[in-house]
Amino acid sequence: MASAGASVVAQRRWRRLAPWLLAVVAGSGFVGLGVWQLRRADEKAALIAAFEVRSRAPAVALAELDPADPANRFREVRVSGRYVAEHQWLLDNQLQHGQPGYRVLTPLDPGGAAAWVLVDRGWVAQGETRQVLPEVSAPQGRVTVLGRLSQPPEPGVRLGHWPAQPSWPAVVPWFDFDAAEHALGHPLERAVILLDPAAPGGYRREWAVNLVTLSPDRHRAYAVQWFSLAVAVAVTAGVLEWRRRAALGKEKEACRR
């Protein structure tokens, strides 16, 4: 009999605590997402600021710096070489003003034993169907490329796979330097050159527009939404608890009568 009574008390206690536990878990999750959005806003703001500052620095020869060093991102560089036009990648799922398309990534061979460097020559629209690929050509002979160091666009979640034996041009969901080196049989610099918008041999290039997918202000707006949901959860839990206690008080009052 005592055991049954203890079980009833435990069940009542659990029913009382369960909503609060759920509220704490949900509220903590929403707060965490809000903090993450604020962190992303700061990262995007720093990225834009670095682009603006380093865009004003004079161009240097690619061989004079380490292309993979984050401190050199967005530095203007120049390098001469020959486009390896027979091996190009089309980076998939790239939107330009809401229109789907590809970024055209072409290796440049500086000659000798030097590592090749990838040149992002801009954006091209997707064909009528995904089976119809755009025709991408590259200037012949030796050229001098001017552009800014960066990294290939990185998706939020890596979906799809890299082709084991690509047909060229190869459509890829993201860029994998190791897999690219294996396909080329030649080392690559761990960076890309964003071809200068005024340079010949490229496609649509709006690098400032493509710099970030979401602006810092958009991330902050999402953070406000997540924090608002956390507040809503706390308020809802408080109201429900107030109603529960009010109902319990009425029951006790009725029992006294």
pLDDT in tens, 78-127: 999 999 999 999 998 888 888 888 999 999 999 887 899 999 999 988 87
Residues 236 and 250 in one domain: yes
pLDDT score recorded for residue 187: 93
**Residue with more model confidence, 119 or 157:** 119
Residues 85 and 43 in one domain: no
Strands 60-61 and 170-172: unpaired
| pLDDT higher than 60, residue 204 | yes
Instruction: Label residue 189 by pLDDT band (50, 70, 90).
Output: very high
**Residue with more model confidence, 179 or 21:** 179
Residues 27 and 69 in one domain: no
| pLDDT higher than 60, residue 41 | yes
Distances from the Cα of 192 to the Cα of 7, 8, 119, 141, angstroms: 66, 67, 5, 20
In terms of Cβ atoms closer than 10 Å to its own Cβ (0-12, 13-18, 19+), residue 46 is: exposed
Residues 197 and 227 in one domain: no
Residues 156 and 233 in one domain: no
Distance (Å, rounded) from C-alpha 193 to C-alpha 198?
14
Distances from the Cα of 223 to the Cα of 40, 159, 199, angstroms: 10, 26, 39
Residues 14 and 108 in one domain: no
Contact 103, 153 (CB under 8 A): yes
pLDDT score recorded for residue 103: 93
pLDDT score recorded for residue 195: 94
| pLDDT higher than 60, residue 210 | no
- Structural domain of 124: 64-210
Q: Report yes or no on 59 lying in a domain.
A: no
**Residue with more model confidence, 8 or 14:** 14
pLDDT score recorded for residue 7: 60
Number of domains in the chain: 2
| pLDDT higher than 80, residue 75 | yes
Show which of 210, 225, 246 is a domain's final residue: 210
Residues 163 and 129 in one domain: yes
**Residue with more model confidence, 32 or 242:** 32
Q: Once rounded to an integer, what is the mean pLDDT over residues 38-59?
A: 76
Residues 205 and 249 in one domain: no
Q: Report yes or no on 53 lying in a domain.
A: no
Residues 42 and 68 in one domain: no
pLDDT score recorded for residue 239: 77
Residues 97 and 198 in one domain: yes
Residues 79 and 118 in one domain: yes
| pLDDT higher than 70, residue 161 | no
Residues 162 and 241 in one domain: no
Distance (Å, rounded) from C-alpha 138 to C-alpha 135?
10
Q: Report yes or no on 186 lying in a domain.
A: yes
Instruction: Label residue 72 by pLDDT band (50, 70, 90).
Output: confident
| pLDDT higher than 70, residue 184 | yes
Q: Report yes or no on 178 lying in a domain.
A: yes
